[in-house]
Amino acid sequence: MDVNKTVGQPISRLEGKLKVTGAAKYAAEYQVENLLHGYVVNSPITKGKIINIDIAKALAIPGVIDVLSHKNRTKLAWFDVQYTDMDAPPGTVFKPLHNENILYNGQPIALVVAEDFETARYASTQITFEFEQEAFETNLQNNTEKGRPAKKGFATALKPPPPPPTGDFDKAYGQAAVKVEAEFKHGTEHHNPIELFATTTVYKGKGKLTIYDKTQGTINNQLYVANIFGLHYKDVRVLAPFVGGGFGAGLRPQYQLFLCVMAALHLKRNVRVVLDRKQMFSFSHRPPAIQKMRFASDINGRMTALGHSVYAETSNFEDYTEPTANWSHKLYPSPNTLFEHNIVPLDVYTPMDMRAPGGSTALHAIECTMDELAHKLKIDPLELRLINYSEMDPSSKKPYTSKALRECYLQAAEKFGWSNRNPEPRATMRGNKLVGYGMATGIWDAFQFPARVEAMITKDGKLVLNNATTDIGTGTLTVMTQIAADELGLSLEEVDFQYGDSKKPFSMFQGGSAITSSTGVAIVVAAKALRKKLLKKAAQMENSPFKNASDEEVIFNGGNLHLKNEPGTYVSLKNIIAFNKGKAIKTTNMGKPHMLKLRKYSLATHSASFVEVEVDQDLGTVTVTRAVTAVAAGKIINPKTAKSQISGSMIWGISKALHEETIMDDHFGKYINTNLGEYHIPVHADIGQLDVIFAEERDELINEIGTKGVGEIGLVGMPAAISNAIFNATGKRIYKLPIHFDELI
Ligand code: MOS
């Protein structure tokens, strides 16, 4: 019997209509009675102390309820508790309104609470602060001598330090036939999801709270609130059914959550706090980095030495780190290696994961250095990658569970027309535009977190699933519904995946491209247990043909349970539930990575990006006219939502290469382009033709469903491919991102 399969089909987002019609509600859109509105006041100074706060004028404004600051904040559990959140780096977490100390520019220093948002915002302008300012340091380049390795902590497993040195790097590099030494600089970037960070807290009395929050992790924020405010975790419910983008900014609870909950508990009222766009630049960001590269090869292009030293920003209170120097040796074998990742503490807020953290910064430097090496060797850049191709992970000496990178290279090169590339820079013109081709490799993790799923068949024969994960716009709802439908042989309409609620069984935050594998595997495990229960119940029915049937002898399809060899013999799921006195049959199960087995392997997704650019000879402006990215990420559950993830991250790659940067004015210790007018991101007219290819990759080892995740891998190779294409077009190699027209004139 053929069972209809939905996995592998390009299904449109099930919640798409709700989103485009505005019916989907976001954290700041819930109608709540007697709601108060909080407006955050941010520090205008970078370092020092608050000497005095005068709130009298603000309090006198009709409609203003209170102004909370470190002077009058209520006694809450927070300041005695060490707990922070599941993505906290080692260090001391930032505590809003803790005391008079200012640690960074933009730090929240007060919350005005009023009957409406406009009154709260106006009142915030009527508060007078006196500060005592201290000297500060915000410049990475000037402070590299403070660089040191990050302390180890809870998140170290996901963000390991670079591998130890091998061979004799200095000797090998010194004697190498061909070498490239280069230093790359990357600017700060701020996550700017379209949905502003916002929290609506419904005060239910007796320490009970329902919180609508903009977050990537409902349970992460539930535990944070419960722990720091000394509440029972069952009394705190965090809901995030729709999330307007995250990109990593929602992996940690942001300060509006803390301030909103504090005000709600203090005033015993319902409170909402929404940040404005400028305030979206007052917390986490991708850290600026300096990368010193030293790569060498023999005259045939075989790598003999890989050296990669990183200096990246962190705050003065937490050791943020990301895997950056870890990647080159996961791609290219080399007998001699030297990798370092140094963090440089500055007077800024702690950086945070942003789409492919570390990887997207690292691969720019690695793949531009490879391009320069290829140019010196007079070897085609793709050929150089193939000369150094490794089936196994050279850094761990372990085989990959699967690696279809070669297929990515070949399929994307073919589709792009790489063979037409002229290796000579400045040799191809189109009108007054210089045309260049560039390519680069991408590599990223393939994570899986433990997850629990409750699965049940209800009395109308439908499959209902529960899991606390969010869907930050990735297609999670659709993908989970597909996986579940296939497991029970149902149509998509017969499956109801419920999510975005901390009350539901465990999920980590949605990050690290991990949720398809995490919740997806838990669904498969739960579905298997559910099928067993349904068969057992069916076997108890009167004259049941399933009495002696084993799991392997039955099949679920079309809402029925069939004997495999006698498809005409069946019982409907509805009848099984009716026989169960109308009670749903349910099970809750855990899916988790098979650590013991996987310890013997290396796990990664791979990609290859090929880009054509046009550079205006007179103006230096760059246009990415077309790009092809091929991705190997195991099984693709939904080619439509997966393609959307990859093309979205390719666009971010264009942004990272050519547009996006938050500019720090080191004189004031302050970002100066904190708005979407001056923080440049590409518009529609900046994007040419984008093609996405999924190379076939069957991975029977990695997990029960063979998936590796597609959220981040599409970004990783793009900045280097663009930079390399600009070199091919102009003969200029620009060692920084973003690349601006003034450097190309
Ligand atoms: Mo992503 S930076 O793991 O949200």
CA of 513 to the centre of ligand 1 (A): 7
Q: Which atom of ligand 1 is nearest to the CA of 511?
A: 3
Provide CB contacts within 8 A for 493, sequence distance 6+. Answer: none
293 and 372 together in one domain? yes
Q: Looking at the structure, do residues 198 and 74 belong to the same domain, yes or no?
A: yes
Residue 79 has pLDDT above 80, yes or no: no
Q: From ligand 1's centre to the CA of 245, what distance in Å?
A: 11
- Are 702 and 637 in contact by the 8 Å Cβ rule? The answer is no
Going by the DSSP 8-state scheme, the letter that residue 672 receives in this structure is S
Residue 1: is its pLDDT beyond 70?
Answer: no
pLDDT in tens, 500-511: 999 999 999 999
Mutate to test the pocket of ligand 1, among 247, 361, 472, 476 (most ligand atoms within 8 A of CB): 247
**318 with 89: CB under 8 angstroms?**
yes
CA of 242 to the centre of ligand 1 (A): 17
Pocket test of ligand 1: the residue of 251, 652, 710 to mutate, having most ligand atoms within 8 Å of its CB, is: 251
Model confidence at 418: pLDDT above 70 = yes
Residues 693 and 609 grouped into a single domain: yes
Over residues 132-152, mean pLDDT:
97
DSSP annotation string for 450-516: -EEEEEEE-TTS-EEEE--B--SSSSHHHHHHHHHHHHHT--GGGEEEE-SBTTSSP---S-TT-HH
Residue 355 Cα: closest atom of ligand 1: 2
3-state SS, residue 309: strand
Work out the average pLDDT over 100-112: 98
Residues with beta carbon inside 6 Å of ligand 1?
216, 246-248, 251, 353-355, 357, 511-512
The last residue of one of the domains, among 262, 282, 302, is 282
Same domain, 695 and 661: yes
Q: Provide the CATH number for the domain around residue 647.
A: 3.30.365.10
Q: From the CA of 712, how far away is ligand 1's center (Å)?
A: 8
Residue 309: inside a domain: yes
CA of 215 to the centre of ligand 1 (A): 12
pLDDT at 84: 78
**527 contacts 487 by C-beta, under 8 angstroms:** yes
In-domain check, residue 656:
yes
Q: Which atom of ligand 1 is nearest to the CA of 472?
A: 4
- Among 320, 444, 712, 715, which residue has the most ligand 1 atoms within 8 Å of its CB, making it the best to mutate? 712
Please tell me the distance between residue 378's alpha carbon and the centre of ligand 1 in angstroms: 38
Q: Which of 208, 689, 152, 687 is nearest to 417 (CA)?
A: 689
Cα(578) to centroid(ligand 1), Å = 44
Average pLDDT over residues 402-423: 98
Q: Are 221 and 229 in contact (CB under 8 A)?
A: no
Which mutation among 158, 320, 322, 355 tests ligand 1's pocket best, with the greatest number of atoms within 8 A of CB? 355
Q: Which of 74-78, 140-144, 267-271, 713-717 has the lowest mean pLDDT?
A: 74-78
Check if the beta carbon of residue 366 is closer than 8 Å to that of residue 328: yes
Euclidean distance between CA atoms 261 and 143, whole angstroms? 37
CA–centroid distance, 462 to ligand 1, in Å, is 33
Other CB atoms within 10 A of residue 290 CB: 21
Helix (H, G, I), strand (E, B) or coil at 279: helix
pLDDT of 337: 98
**By alpha-carbon position, which residue is closest to atom 4 of ligand 1?**
248
**Residue 16 located in a structural domain:** no
Q: Which atom of ligand 1 is nearest to the CA of 353?
A: 2
Closest CA to 657 of 712, 611, 589, 596: 611
Domain span at residue 547 reads 451-592
C-alpha of residue 619 to centroid of ligand 1, in Å: 36
Q: For 552, which DSSP code?
A: G
Written as six digits, the tokens of 451 are 């997850």
Q: What is the mean pLDDT of residues 44-73?
A: 96
Percentage of the chain beyond pLDDT 70 is 99
How many whole angstroms from 469 Cα to the centroid of ligand 1? 14
Work out the mean pLDDT of the chain and round it to a whole number: 96
What CA–CA distance (Å, rounded) separates 38 from 199? 10
pLDDT digits (tens, 9 = 90+) for 700-744: 999 999 999 999 999 999 999 999 999 999 999 999 999 999 999
The β-bridge partners of 340 are 309
Closest CA to 481 of 468, 505, 464: 464
CA of 356 to the centre of ligand 1 (A): 7
Residues 484 and 607 placed together within one structural domain of the fold: no
Rounded to the nearest angstrom, the distance between the alpha carbon of 449 and the centre of ligand 1 is 14
The residue with tokens 């108890």 is 540
Are 301 and 267 in a shared domain? no
27 Cα to the center of ligand 1, angstroms:
20
User: Is residue 15 domain-resident?
Assistant: no
Out of 353, 509, 517, 715, mutate this one to test ligand 1's pocket (max ligand atoms within 8 Å of CB): namely 353
Could you give the angle at which helices 718-730 and 359-377 cross, rounded to 10 degrees? 30
Strand blocks (E) in 208-324: 209-213, 236-239, 270-274, 289-297, 303-315
For residues 611 and 547, state if they share a domain: no
pLDDT at position 2 over 70: no
Nearest atom, ligand 1, residue 246 CA: 4
Whether 484 and 347 share a structural domain: no
358 located within any domain: yes
Residue 555: how many other CB atoms lie within 10 Å: 17
Contact between residue 436 and residue 418 where contact means Cβ atoms under 8 Å apart = no
What CATH number corresponds to the domain at position 102?
3.90.1170.50
With vertex at residue 219, the alpha carbon angle to CA 216 and CA 220, rounded to the nearest 5 degrees, is 65
Domain end residue (candidates: 562, 592, 622): 592
CA of 737 to the centre of ligand 1 (A): 20
- Asked if residue 465 is part of any domain, the answer here is yes
Tens digit of each residue's pLDDT (9 = 90 or more) over 87-99: 999 998 898 999 9
Atom of ligand 1 nearest to the CA of 250: 4
Question: Is residue 512 located within the same domain as residue 580?
Answer: yes
Structure tokens at 381: 């850049």
Backbone φ and ψ for 337, nearest 5 degrees, come out as -140, 155
Q: Based on the domain organization, do 331 and 299 belong to the same domain?
A: yes
Overall average pLDDT of the 517-545 stretch? 98
* Ligand 1 atom at minimal distance to the Cα of residue 711: 1
Q: Check whether residue 115 and residue 208 sit in a common domain.
A: yes
The string of pLDDT tens digits covering residues 670-703 is: 999 999 999 999 999 999 999 999 999 999 999 9
Q: Which atom in ligand 1 lies closest to the alpha carbon of residue 357? A: 2
CA of 76 to the centre of ligand 1 (A): 31
State residue 578's pLDDT score. 98
**How high is the pLDDT of residue 642?**
98
Q: Comparing 29-38, 90-99, 609-618, which segment has the lowest mean pLDDT? A: 90-99
Residue 28 lies in a domain: no
Atom of ligand 1 nearest to the CA of 249: 4
The answer to whether residues 507 and 648 belong to one domain is no
Among 570, 592, 614, the domain boundary falls at: 592
How many CB atoms neighbour CB 141 within 10 A?
11
Contacts of residue 607, Cβ cutoff 8 Å, sequence gap at least 6: 405, 408, 441, 442, 443, 444, 629, 630, 631, 632, 713, 714, 716, 717
Question: How many separate domains does the chain show?
Answer: 3
Atom of ligand 1 nearest to the CA of 509: 4
Separation of CA 43 and ligand 1 centre (Å): 28
| CA within 13 Å, CB half, 185 | 10
76 against 146, higher pLDDT: 146
The arithmetic mean of pLDDT across residues 298-302, rounded, is 98
Q: Kindly state whether residue 130 falls inside one of the protein's structural domains.
A: yes
Residue 77 has what pLDDT? Answer: 61
- Atom number of ligand 1 nearest to Cα 216: 4
Confidence band, pLDDT 50/70/90 cuts, at residue 253: very high
Mean per-residue pLDDT for 433-452?
A: 98
Q: What percent of the chain has pLDDT over 90?
A: 95
